[in-house]
Amino acid sequence: MTTKKNDSAVQIYTSQSVLDAAQERVAYIFDRYAQIIVSVSGGKDSTVLAHMALAEAHRRNRRIGLFFLDEEVVYESTIEQIRYLMGLYPENTIKMWLQVEFALTNATSTEEGQLICWEGGKHKIWMRPKEPDSIQHPPWDRDKETVRNKTKGFGFYDALDNFENTRSDTAFLCGIRAIESMHRWRACARNICSAGVHWGTNRKRGNVTLYPLYDWNFTDIWRYIYENKLRYSKIYDWQHQIGLGLNEIRVSSLIHEKSFKALVELPKFEPKTYDRLCKRLKGIRWGNEYGKDAKVMRCRKLPDNFESWLKYRDFLLLTYADEAKKPIFERRFSRQLNNNYVARQQCRQLVLNDYENNLPIDNQEDPLIKRIEYWRSVL
Amino acid sequence: MIYLGRTHKEKQAIIKEACVSASHVVIFHGSKTPEVYEASCPIEYRAWDDIIMYKYFYRLLQEITSDSVIILDEIMRTQDRNCLTYNCLLHYIRKAERCLVFQYFPIIDDVENFCILADMVSCGRTRGTNYAALRGIVADVVRRDYQIIEQPVGITDADRKTYDKKKAAIFSRPIKDPEALPRQVALVAGDIKAKSCSPESAYVARNARFKRPNILTYKNAPRDAIILDPPVSAIVMHDHLAGGADTPAILYMSTGLPVDKHYIEFYRGIAESMRRIYDDQEK
């Protein structure tokens, strides 16, 4: 294991291991900040980060927060993993398990395009009861509550923002790694939050989000888990057993526009979770059936009964079930180019109910047309 | 070590010498049927399609040891340097200490393809390095520069009109893959050229559509057959030309139509890239 600096898009190997470097970063955070909160998701990266921070807290006889924003519709294994992390060093842990109402996109249904997690009055069909020691009511001032987009409603990131605003001069630790995607690399590298610390972002009220594992690779994470005999979500083992690629092995929510593919395998892994989810929300069986279908949810191939992506897009827009969300798409599409390349991506947004624009559209001239014109001139 | 441009006989001599102390030899071959070699220990042959299969992958990883010799025989079948098959090969190579790479031509159609061979002999240490930055990869080279010799064919105005009409028809259909367009247009030119074929010479076409005894396909045509249709890819052309002790030439029937000009330039470009690699190795 070696550390890589992210001051350019290229990984530069140095003589220090990523483990030593991350432990130095964690020690620096403990020296610098009196209040530390680790965000956990139940995945492998946050497991490693939480363990590393808790071990440091234990050495220093300090208490740190473990923050989990519960989306309700998650694997049961994720919940077990969170309970495990919360109980790892109980004397050093401040439990911050947030189970409050917020909206989540449901990519599997246009009729029920949003899930209101932990919705009041629906406790009989909640995926599971709330934890006895969780935070069950918003801990922020409701009058000062901020919402990024009122059309979309109070969502996941609003819950995070408002929770963060309840704190000041706090270091929020997050287990993202630059190697995972260009977006994450940019999040890790674009800002310098304080002298010498380029692996973090300044937030409001003197808060800061820090990424101590930003230069870790996939293999570094698994090695740490193995060497420290940590427990990890069973989902990883099941995903590995059925032959999913390294980039597909991930634990996340089950229904939003980037994670719905998990529904295809869910009945095999956790039949009871799948059963509860079917009762909780519309579209789950459809997601299970077509989550990896190139002509349906992946929008890779044009369905046979449409001549072009443009016609398919128009059809989807015309028949879009949620009248309240329809104008969001219409406004967005009116600002974009009208070609098959863009239309395919628009179809994907419509099929996956992506009114939040989380699957951004590459708005450019159709590259296919350019190639065809090139060959027309050459031949 | 990378061996470029070797014939079967030469490969046999190299393999025999390299495998004297080996306990186990595995030959991965790019061709559908293996070229058979002799060695002082058992040889296992695995085709391109077998390389990624679980039933061979895990067994071979257990069986290949530092006493094994891995031989890659004309294994460059795709330009995707990070494809699963090359990745699996690297796993095998890392388990063995000796690896011989035989490739008749050093590239498919781009100078960067040579890096695939470099990755194999360096156990993947050169991955992420482009050709210009490649250092310390020495190949044992027998030059196989090929020439493109144009064989002009006269065409009439009517032929030219037919070409334009059929080309327009191809472009007016729904096009899913624009890269298939030159291949489709080349068949139109092939139909025009077929009228000028002499019964005494052997020709090679993309498929058996002409049903004439002297117009063969790339599967069974002799290396010196005149090219009527270019093949679907440079890999097929190289398979057609490879293997002999002499330097092959591409005898290309050319009508002067744009599609023929395109293909002649395409193969001249490949020949130029090959020359660059040969020259770099000789420096």
What is d(CA A145, CA A161) in angstroms, rounded to the nearest whole number? 9
Which pLDDT value is given to residue B243? 86
Which residue from B267, B270, B222, B217 is spatially nearest to B246, judged by alpha carbons?
B222
Nearest-CB residue to B262 (from A368, A376, A379): A379
CATH code of the domain occupying B2-141: 3.40.50.10810
Mean pLDDT for chain A?
91
* Separation in Å, CA of A373 to nearest CA in chain B: 9
What is the CB neighbour count within 10 angstroms for residue A137? 10
Which pLDDT value is given to residue A197? 84
ipTM computed for the complex: 0.86
| Residue A206 per-residue DSSP state | G
Residue B182 and residue A376: Cβ atoms within 8 Å? no
Residue A378 and residue B178: Cβ atoms within 8 Å? no
Which pLDDT value is given to residue A1? 43
For residue A2, pLDDT beyond 50: no
On whether any CB of chain B is under 8 Å from the CB of A13, the answer is no
What is d(CA A99, CA B36) in angstroms, rounded to the nearest whole number? 67
Q: Is the pTM of this model over 0.90?
A: no
Q: Give the domain ranges of chain B.
A: 2-141, 147-282
In chain B, whose CA is at the least distance from the CA of A245? B84
State the pLDDT confidence band at A247, using cuts at 50, 70 and 90. Answer: low
Cα–Cα distance list, A41 to A130, A212, A289, B205 (Å)? 17, 16, 27, 60
- Does residue A179 or residue B184 have the better pLDDT? B184
Answer whether A71's CB lies under 8 Å from A108's CB: no
Q: C-alpha dihedral over B65, B67, B68, B71, to 10 degrees?
A: 130
Answer whether A252's CB lies under 8 Å from A233's CB: no
Which residue from A104, A100, A98 is spatially nearest to A155, judged by alpha carbons?
A104
Residue-wise pLDDT tens digits, B6-61:
999 999 999 999 999 899 999 999 998 899 999 999 999 999 999 998 889 889 99
Percent of chain B past pLDDT 70, that is, above it, reads 100
What is d(CA A36, CA A23) in angstroms, rounded to the nearest whole number? 15
Which pLDDT value is given to residue B283? 81
Cα–Cα distance list, A152 to A261, A316, A327, B180 (Å)? 23, 20, 12, 44
* Bridge partners, residue A95, by sequence: A66
Cβ-Cβ contacts under 8 Å, B175 against chain A:
368, 372
Nearest-CB residue to B175 (from A372, A374, A378): A372
Give the DSSP per-residue string, B135-154: -S--EEE-----EEEEEE--
Answer whether A255's CB lies under 8 Å from A107's CB: yes
Residues A352-369 have a mean pLDDT of: 91
Cβ-Cβ contacts under 8 Å, B178 against chain A:
368, 371-372, 374-375
In chain A, whose CA is at the least distance from the CA of B178? A372
Residues A250-274 have a mean pLDDT of: 90
In chain B, whose CA is at the least distance from the CA of A340? B176
Q: How many helices (H) and strands (E) does chain A have?
A: 14, 10
Residue B178 and residue A371: Cβ atoms within 8 Å? yes
Tally A–B CB contacts below 8 A. 23
Can you read off the two tokens belonging to residue A1?
């294991």
Which residue from B220, B86, B84 is spatially nearest to A243, judged by alpha carbons?
B84
In chain A, whose CA is at the least distance from the CA of B256? A379
Residue B28: its H or E element: strand B24-29
* Separation in Å, CA of A372 to nearest CA in chain B: 6
On whether any CB of chain A is under 8 Å from the CB of B258, the answer is yes
Q: What angle do CA A262, A52, A61 make, to 5 degrees?
A: 135
Least confident of A273-287, B5-19, B109-123, B129-143: B129-143
On whether any CB of chain B is under 8 Å from the CB of A376, the answer is yes
Which pLDDT value is given to residue A6? 44
Which pLDDT value is given to residue A179? 83
On whether any CB of chain A is under 8 Å from the CB of B169, the answer is no
On whether any CB of chain B is under 8 Å from the CB of A324, the answer is no
On whether any CB of chain B is under 8 Å from the CB of A368, the answer is yes
Mean pLDDT for chain B?
93
Residue A372 and residue B178: Cβ atoms within 8 Å? yes
On whether any CB of chain A is under 8 Å from the CB of B259, the answer is yes
Residue B181 and residue A372: Cβ atoms within 8 Å? yes
Cβ-Cβ contacts under 8 Å, A304 against chain B:
none
Residue-wise pLDDT tens digits, B207-263:
999 999 999 999 999 998 999 999 999 999 999 999 888 877 899 999 999 999 999
